[in-house]
Amino acid sequence: MTTQHHGSNGSSSDAECRVSEDEKNVEDMELTELGPLLKSPEASTKPRGAAAYPSEEEEEEVEDNNDEEDDLRMVTLPLQAHHAMEKMEEFVHKVWEGRWRVIPFHLLPDWLKDNDYLLHGHRPPMPSFRACFGSIFRIHTETGNIWTHLLGLILFLCLGTLTMLRPNVSFMAPLQEKVVLGMFFLGAVLCLCFSWLFHTVYCHSEKVSRTFSKLDYSGIALLIMGSFVPWLYYSFYCSPQPRLIYLSVVCVLGISAIIVAQWDRFATPRHRPTRAGVFLGLGLSGIIPTMHFTIAEGFVKATTVGQMGWFILMGAMYITGAGLYAARIPERFFPGKCDIWFQSHQIFHVLVVAAAFIHFYGISNLQEFRHGLGGGCTDDSLL
């Protein structure tokens, strides 16, 4: 009876040990998912009164434990990698749903660091186009840059549509003039479209940022080229040879600027003055035809009938915007104060849209004046 009693106790004790070991193994597996394997203090502590030389059962138990530890060590690294992937998927899912927070400048990766005077309110890298476009409706450092050109894009799409739908009787040469005006609207629409897309998605990844930055800079060159076309067409309406020469020079310079914009280093913060200088030089190339027109027509007539005053104002706005952008004013003098609003890039965007609208107003007046003359030319006037 005594022997049976002890056997019953032994089997009960063995079952309890097996349950305890199973629970411990499950706990250890959970711990491996969270990081390096943590040893249980119970497993590493020897029972009190243990012999100096372990018994055969103890040796087998130690060997079993060592095998289990080796197996767990082998699966620890894959489980950690799996856990990291789960965390990444969770982050992407949160970003996908728009649950992200703005971060300070110093936490941005190098490819997102552009203006070190904007200290807070930056979007984190978001590897989801849906999240990028969803950020349009959030407040961050790019909100103003996105909306200034997105609204400008809508404005010029409407203006361009209304202009192209005007009846042919409003033009002396409907097809030719609509093509000329269409070049201006095409340049403006592409510039504004590429710009707001770049500022929307450039936080997606380094590759996407680099690709859309090239489109953005190419759009600026297209806007400048498109702005020259109708102005040169109407200003030198009766002088086809100078008009052709000036249009050719502008096209060559514009294409050269687009080629330079494809250089990867062109988009880096270090080359910010270079970017401003390239487009500033392209715009200032209009000084020569402006002087030609003013000398030929006289200053008074050039600034009244020739609408030269509006074009000078347009150029001044472009130059001012490019200068502020290159010098990063006003945030240079107020670091952290212009993170969301009134930063140099936003001011540059507003001036670009305003200058393009002023240019449209000037060439519209020139077109109406040309239409009023009936398309004729006099000997003493380029108009």
Tens place of pLDDT per residue across the chain (383 aa):
444 444 444 444 554 555 455 544 544 443 333 333 333 333 344 444 444 444 555 555 555 566 555 555 555 666 777 676 766 666 555 555 457 999 999 999 999 999 999 999 999 999 999 999 999 999 999 999 999 999 999 999 999 999 999 998 888 888 999 999 999 999 999 999 999 999 999 999 999 999 999 999 999 999 999 999 999 999 898 888 999 999 999 999 899 889 888 888 777 777 778 777 888 888 888 889 989 988 988 888 888 877 888 888 998 898 899 889 889 999 999 999 999 999 999 999 999 999 999 999 999 998 888 887 765 565 444 44
Gap between the Cα atoms of 302 and 286, Å rounded: 15
Please tell me whether 199 is known to bind a ligand: yes
- Give residue 284's pLDDT: 83
Q: What is the pTM of this model?
A: 0.72
- Give residue 31's pLDDT: 37
- Give residue 30's pLDDT: 38
- Give residue 239's pLDDT: 86
282-316 as b/e, with b when 16 or more CB fall inside 10 Å?
bbebbeebbebbbebbeeebbbeebbbebbebbbe
| Placement of tokens 């040309």 in the chain | 370
Residue ranges of domains in the chain, CATH in brackets: 110-373 (1.20.1070)
How far, in whole angstroms, is CA 176 from its chain's centroid? 37
- Residue closest to 361 by CA, chosen among 251, 176, 231: 231
Gap between the Cα atoms of 96 and 153, Å rounded: 27
Give the end-to-end CA distance of the chain in Å, rounded to a whole number.
128
- Give residue 223's pLDDT: 94
Gap between the Cα atoms of 251 and 254, Å rounded: 5
Gap between the Cα atoms of 4 and 104, Å rounded: 73
Please tell me whether 345 is known to bind a ligand: yes
Gap between the Cα atoms of 217 and 224, Å rounded: 11
| Placement of tokens 């076309």 in the chain | 229
How far, in whole angstroms, is CA 302 from its chain's centroid? 41
- Give residue 373's pLDDT: 72
Gap between the Cα atoms of 167 and 169, Å rounded: 5
- Give residue 9's pLDDT: 46
